[in-house]
Chains A and B, each alone.
Chain A
Amino acid sequence: MRRRTLVILLGVLALAGAALDAQVGWDRLRNARREPQNWMTYSGTLDGWRHSSLTQITPANAKDLEMKWVFQADSTEKLESSPLVVDGVMYVTQPPNDIIALDAKTGRVFWIYQYQVAPDARVCCGRINRGLAILGNTLFMGTIDAHLVAVDAKNGRLLWNTKIATAADGYAIAMAPLVVKDKVIVGTAGGEQGIIGFVAAFDAKTGKEAWRFNTIPGPGEPGHETWPGDTWEHGAGSLWVTGTYDPDLNLTYWGVGNPGPDWNPDVRKGDNLYTCSALALDPDTGELKWHFQFTPNDGMDWDSAQVPVLVDMTWDGAPRKLMLWANRNGFFYVLDRVTGRFVRGAPFVRQNWAAGLDENGRPIRLINTRVSAEGVLTYPNAQGGTNWFSPSWSPRTGLFYVGAWKEASALASSVPVEFVPGRGYTGGSPSTKMPNIRRPTINTWTEQAGHGEILALDPRTGKEKWAFVMHDVTDAGILTTASDVLFSGSREGYFMALDARTGAVLWKALTSGQISSGPISYEVDGKQYVAISAYHAVFAFGLR
Chain B
Amino acid sequence: MTRHGLPGLAALLVGLAAVTGRGTGAAPQTVDPAKLDTGARIYGSLCTTCHGPDGDAIPAVNLKTGQYKRELTDLDLMTVISKGVPGTAMPANNLSNNELFALIAYLHVMKDYGARRVVLGDAGRGRAIFEGKAQCLSCHRVNQQGAYLGPDLTTAGASFSAAMFQDTLLDPSSTAKPGNRTIRAVTKTGEVVTGRRLNEDTWSVQIMDSRERLVSLWKPDLKEYAILGSPMPSYKDSLSAEERSDLIAYLVTLTPPPAAQGRGRGAAR
B-binding residues in A (CB < 8 A): 75-78, 119-127, 168, 415, 417, 420-424, 426-429, 431, 436-447, 449, 469-472, 490, 492-494, 508
Contact A77 B57 (CB under 8 A): no
Tell me if A508 and B59 are in contact (CB < 8 A): no
Measured CB to CB, the nearest residue on chain A to B197 is A444
Cβ contact within 8 Å between B202 and A444: no
Contact residues in A for B50 (Cβ distance below 8 Å)? 125-126, 436-438
CB of B198 within 8 A of CB of A77, answer no
Closest-by-CB residue of A relative to B91 is A123
Contacts of A119 in B (CB 8 A): 2, 83, 92
Is the pair B92, A415 in contact by a Cβ cutoff of 8 Å?
Answer: no
Contacts of B41 in A (CB 8 A): 415
10 sample A-B contacts, Cβ–Cβ < 8 Å, listed by A number: A123-B91, A125-B49, A126-B89, A415-B41, A438-B58, A442-B269, A443-B199, A443-B201, A444-B199, A447-B227
Would B44 and A436 count as touching, CB distance under 8 A?
no
**For the complex, what is the distance from the CA of A438 to the CA of B88, rounded to whole Å?**
12
A429 to B51, CA, bound (A): 13
User: Number of residues in B with C-beta < 8 Å to the partner?
Assistant: 38
Which of B58, B87, B177, B269 contacts A77 (CB under 8 A)? B87
* Complex contact A508–B198 (CB within 8 A): no
With contacts A415-B45, A417-B45, A436-B57 known, is A508 near B203, CB below 8 A? Answer: yes
Chain B proximity of A119: nearest CB distance (Å): 7
B residues less than 8 Å from A126 (CB atoms)? 50, 89, 91
- A75 x B181 contact (CB < 8 A): no
A440, B57: Cβ atoms under 8 Å?
Answer: yes
Bound: A394/B261 CA distance, A: 56
From B52, B89, B202, give the contact of A471 (CB < 8 A).
B202
Beta-carbon contacts of B82-96 to A below 8 Å, as 1s and 0s? 010001110111110
The residues in B between 199 and 236 inclusive whose CB is less than 8 angstroms from any CB of A are: 199-203, 227
A417-B45, A424-B45, A438-B58 known; A444-B200 Cβ under 8 A: yes
Chain B interface, DSSP helix/strand/loop, else mixed: loop
Which residues does chain B contribute within 8 Å of A417, judged by CB atoms? 45
Q: How far is the CB of A245 from chain B (nearest CB, A)?
A: 32
Does A470 contact B202, Cβ atoms closer than 8 Å? yes
Tell me the complex Cα distance, A472–B93, Å: 31
Q: CB-nearest residue of chain A relative to B56?
A: A440
Instruction: Establish whether residues B57 and A429, one from each chain, have CB atoms under 8 Å apart when the complex forms.
Output: no
From A123, A444, A494, contact of B203 by CB (8 A):
A494
Closest to B61 in A: A440
Question: What distance in Å separates the Cβ of A127 from its nearest Cβ neighbour in chain B?
Answer: 6
Which A residues touch B269, using CB under 8 A?
440, 442
CB of A431 within 8 A of CB of B87, answer no
Q: Is the CB of B49 within 8 A of A437?
A: yes
Contact B178 A444 (CB under 8 A): yes
Asked whether any CB of chain A lies closer than 8 Å to the CB of B135, the reply is no
Name the A residues within 8 Å of B88 (CB-CB): 76-77
B179 close to A (CB within 8 Å): yes
Do B202 and A438 touch across chains, with their CB atoms under 8 A apart?
no
| Interface of A: prevailing SS | loop
Q: Give Cα A472 to B204, complex, Å.
A: 12
Are B49 and A472 touching (Cβ within 8 A)?
Answer: no
Within 8 A of A (CB), among B147-169: none
User: Which of A75, A420, A449, A490 is in CB contact (< 8 Å) with B201?
Assistant: A490
Closest residue of chain B to A435 (Cβ to Cβ) is B57
Besides A119-B83, A426-B45, A446-B181, 9 other CB < 8 A contacts? A123-B91, A124-B91, A125-B50, A126-B50, A431-B53, A436-B52, A442-B199, A444-B179, A444-B197
Contacts of A423 in B (CB 8 A): 93-95
Specify the chain B residue showing the minimal Cβ separation from A439: B57
A121 in contact with B92 given A417-B45, A445-B178 (CB within 8 Å)? yes
A422 to B2, CA, bound (A): 13
Interface centre among B46, B83, B91, B198 (most CB of A within 10 A): B91
Known: A121-B92, A122-B94. A429 touches B199 (CB 8 A): no
- B94-135 contacts to A (CB < 8 Å): 94-95
How far is the CB of A63 from the nearest CB of chain B, in Å? 15
Q: Given known contacts A420-B94, A441-B59, A446-B181, is B89 in contact with A77 (CB within 8 Å)?
A: yes
> In whole Å, how far is A534's beta carbon from the nearest beta carbon of chain B?
14
Rounded to whole angstroms, the CA-CA distance of A442 and B56 in the bound complex is 12
Nearest CB of chain A from residue B45's CB, rounded to whole Å: 5
| A contact residues around B179 at 8 Å (CB) | 442, 444
Nearest Cβ distance between residue B1 and chain A, in whole angstroms? 11
Q: Is the CB of A442 within 8 A of B202?
A: no
B70 at interface by CB-CB < 8 Å:
no
Residues of A within 8 A of B177 (CB): 444
- Which residues of chain A are near B178, meaning CB under 8 Å? 444-446, 449
B89 with A127: CB separation less than 8 A: yes
Cα of A204 to Cα of B58 in the assembled complex, Å? 40
CB contacts (< 8 Å) of B45 on chain A: these are: 415, 417, 424, 426-429
B138 sits at the interface (CB 8 A): no
Kindly list chain A residues whose C-beta atoms are within 8 Å of the C-beta of B227. 446-447
Name the residue on A nearest B89 (C-beta): A126
Contacts of B46 in A (CB 8 A): 424
Q: Is the CB of B198 within 8 A of A422?
A: no
- Looking at the assembled complex, report how far the CB atom of B141 sits from the nearest CB atom of chain A, in whole angstroms: 18
When the two chains form their complex, are residues A472 and B91 in contact, meaning their CB atoms are under 8 A apart? no
A residues near B53, Cβ cutoff 8 Å = 431
For A471, the chain B residues whose CB sits under 8 A away are 200-202
C-alpha spacing A429/B42, complex, angstroms: 11
Out of A438, A444, A470, A494, name the residue touching B89 (CB < 8 Å): A438
